């Protein structure tokens, strides 16, 4: 077996037994990145020198018997997460040349556990998008089909995991931005409970919705990554002081006796690809065969979720992105006469069209005369969506749904119609509005060979139960073992340093 085909759990065991070295493992991924990046485009930046230095330190640590959870494990990090001294662009011209003077808390925790950073993954600009087509820097392709999108906004992270260009990755999820690309790329993606993982150092899009989480080949790998990054952080006022359970230790408990809810509002006929419904229904039957009890439930305010989400998210985005004015850091339009013109030109030229659209809409719904009609009303309906989930979890332990209405769509198919693009998030955004955890894992393939995922939602801080059910399904299926049919190329090694 090639080293790049290993899972995190498998690689960790081989490193611990000294069957392989961290340097050997890291070199294998760096060489694969060189060969595959011309056709995938997962990474904005790759850092081979830093990666090999970290790998050498990991080998020294392993030799002393001081291994952490992720010592010597090569990972990718979405380029919305700050790493001290390294470019953090959010895939935007606005942050060209910006190098944070500090590490995000999740990076500090990964370093404590001995990880190896391969590079920063591509994304939709400022995490605004569902296809990674809004990146101002490059195009990322779905490893399963070059003409298809990888999903978004964590499309680079998902594609890197699917193409075996890393052992795992971190993404961020504001309205499905981990789970939807995980579904489209055939990998596991977990959005933790809001407050479970520190947001300190995560460049904000919508502060009440954003959450960092892992993407990986298997459920066990996601459990391990979550174990490494979860926990209270005094630097983040939204971080919850709550003990972190042993996520790996509870994976084998099975699903016998678990009550699984199937919300009728998620199994819609209009807009749902029949192959998606068939695959998700198959996953439900597989869990029932293992002893789970499935029942239909209702989340009645689901039809309002898309409108509520895009009002709240865009309002928060307009506020958070006001800081990018060309004065403090990042891009500045040089040909300006006066401060006002510099502001206008910097923001017009630094932001891409989707970011500008969301800032304008967000500013509108917060403006005098419209705040009550839009933002306040959206916040009230958000409360009703939260109550729907609270009532549902009094009846059931977990909720099962599709992740996206269709498999990955073709590049350019929805870019001319923003509303159609926004509707691709219809099954994922409610979890962000409510702050509950959710996980996507592969459950089938379309007739065109594209992955299909299903979603498991849980009550607050019930990640362990979600992982338990996901692992039970994974052990009964083989979808997570399938790999995209990629052909490597002989590329110039200098391409690795961009």
- Annotation says 494 is catalytic: no
SS3 category, 387: helix
Q: Give the C-alpha separation, 350 to 330, whole Å.
A: 9
* Nearest by Cα to 453 from 215, 225, 174, 132: 215
Q: pLDDT tens digits for 388-445?
A: 999 999 999 999 999 999 999 999 999 999 989 999 999 999 999 999 999 999 999 9
Q: In this structure, what DSSP letter does residue 495 have?
A: G
| The pLDDT of residue 269 is above 70 | yes
Q: Write down the mean pLDDT value for the chain.
A: 95
pTM of the full structure: 0.96
| Catalytic residue of the set 82, 157, 172, 177 | 177
315-373 tens-digit pLDDT: 999 999 999 999 888 899 888 888 899 999 999 999 999 999 999 999 999 998 899 99
Active-site choice (42, 78, 135, 239) = 78
Q: Is 78 a catalytic residue?
A: yes
Q: Which of 153, 183, 198, 239 is catalytic?
A: 153
What are the structure tokens assigned to 298, written together? 């209702």
Residue 357 has which token pair? 């659209």
Is residue 417 helix, strand or coil? coil
User: Which tokens sit at 403?
Assistant: 């992740």
Q: What is the pLDDT of residue 494?
A: 42
- Measuring CA to CA, which residue among 158, 181, 187 is closest to residue 170? 158
The model's pLDDT over 173-202, given as tens digits with 9 standing for 90+, comes to 999 999 999 999 999 999 999 999 999 999
**What number of other Cβ atoms are within 10 A of residue 135's Cβ?**
26
Quick: pLDDT tens for 13-52. 999 999 999 999 999 999 999 999 999 999 999 999 999 9
Query: Torsion-angle region of residue 41: left (phi > 0), alpha (psi -120 to 50) or beta?
Result: left
CA distance 321 to 128: 12
Nearest Cα to Cα of residue 441 among 398, 481, 413, 474: 474
CATH number 3.90.1300.10 is the correct assignment for the domain at 3-253+477-496: yes
| Residue 489: band (very low, low, confident or very high) from pLDDT cuts 50, 70, 90 | low
Q: Where are the domains of the chain?
A: 3-253+477-496
Whether the predicted pLDDT of 498 surpasses 50: no
What's the pLDDT tens digit per position in 301-312? Answer: 999 999 999 999
CB of 189 closer than 8 Å to CB of 298: no
* Whether the predicted pLDDT of 134 surpasses 70: yes
Element (H, E) at 214: strand 211-216
């Amino acid at each position: 077996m090639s080293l790049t085909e290993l899972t995190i759990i498998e690689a960790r065991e081989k490193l611990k037994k000294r069957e392989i070295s961290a340097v050997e493992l890291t070199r294998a991924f760096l060489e694969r990145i060189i060969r595959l990046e011309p056709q995938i485009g997962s990474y904005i930046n790759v850092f081979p020198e830093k990666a090999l230095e970290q790998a050498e330190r990991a080998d020294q640590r392993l030799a002393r018997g001081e291994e952490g959870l992720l010592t010597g494990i090569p990972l990718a990090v979405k380029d919305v997460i700050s790493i001290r001294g390294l470019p953090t662009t959010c895939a935007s011209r606005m942050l060209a040349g910006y190098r944070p003077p500090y590490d995000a808390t999740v990076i500090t925790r990964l370093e404590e556990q001995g990880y190896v950073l391969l590079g920063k993954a591509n994304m939709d600009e400022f995490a605004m998008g569902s296809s990674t087509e809004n990146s101002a820097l490059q195009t990322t392709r779905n490893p399963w089909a070059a003409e298809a999108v990888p999903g978004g906004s964590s499309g680079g992270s998902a594609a890197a995991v699917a193409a075996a260009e890393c052992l795992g990755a971190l993404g961020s999820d504001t309205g499905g931005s981990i789970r939807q690309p995980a579904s489209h790329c055939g990998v596991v993606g977990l959005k933790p409970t809001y407050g479970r993982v520190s947001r300190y150092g995560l460049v904000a899009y919508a502060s009440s919705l954003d959450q960092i989480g892992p993407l990986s080949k298997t459920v066990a790998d996601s459990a391990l990554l979550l174990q490494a990054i979860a926990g209270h952080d005094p630097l983040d006022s939204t971080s919850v002081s709550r003990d972190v359970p042993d996520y790996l230790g509870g994976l084998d408990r099975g699903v016998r006796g678990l009550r699984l809810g199937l919300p009728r509002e998620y199994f819609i006929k209009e807009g749902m690809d029949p192959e998606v419904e068939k695959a998700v229904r198959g996953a439900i039957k597989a869990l029932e065969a293992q002893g789970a009890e499935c029942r239909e439930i209702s989340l009645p305010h689901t039809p309002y979720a898309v409108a509520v989400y895009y009002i709240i998210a865009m309002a928060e985005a307009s506020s958070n992105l006001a800081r990018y004015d060309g004065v403090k850091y990042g891009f500045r339009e040089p040909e300006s006469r006066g401060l006002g013109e510099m502001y206008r030109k910097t923001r017009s030229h630094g932001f891409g069209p989707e970011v500008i659209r969301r800032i304008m809409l967000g500013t509108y719904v917060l403006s005098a005369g419209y705040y009550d009609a839009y933002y306040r009303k959206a916040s009230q309906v958000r409360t009703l969506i939260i109550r729907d989930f609270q009532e549902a979890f009094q009846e059931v332990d977990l909720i099962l749904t599709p992740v996206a209405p269709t498999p990955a769509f073709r590049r350019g198919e929805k870019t001319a119609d923003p509303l159609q693009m926004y509707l691709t998030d219809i099954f994922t955004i409610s979890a962000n509005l409510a702050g509950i955890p959710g996980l996507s894992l592969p459950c089938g393939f379309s007739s065109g060979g594209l992955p299909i995922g299903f979603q498991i939602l849980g009550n607050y801080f019930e990640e362990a139960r979600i992982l338990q059910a996901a692992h039970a399904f994974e052990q009964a299926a083989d979808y997570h073992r399938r790999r995209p049919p990629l052909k490597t190329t002989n590329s110039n090694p200098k391409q690795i340093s961009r």
